[in-house]
Amino acid sequence: MKIKYLCIFIAAAFGFSECGTGEIDTDVCKMHPPYEPGRAIIPGWFYNGSIDLCQYYEFGAVSAENKIANRFSSLSDC
């Protein structure tokens, strides 16, 4: 009986570990603009989904290095 429960537990553990291995498709337009203060002020644009417009924003140096962010270098890119 104990072996049966052990086998079920092991099978469940391996099954659940496979569920979290896929990549997450992130829609950057739904993200908030990154707020990370830094010494530099880097101008840019972000998409504000609540008003359905792109807005000017001054990013900090740390947030400018983030590759996946709601941050665009120009209004036309946004």
Each of the 78 residues of the chain gets a pLDDT tens digit; together they read 556 544 454 545 445 444 444 555 568 888 887 777 677 788 989 999 899 999 998 887 765 555 678 888 899 998
Our CA angle for 55, 68, 70, nearest 5°, is: 10
Determine the pLDDT at residue 4: 54
Assigned CATH for 24-78: 4.10.410.10
The domain ranges of the chain are 24-78
- The distance from CA 77 to its chain's CA centroid, rounded to whole angstroms, is 19
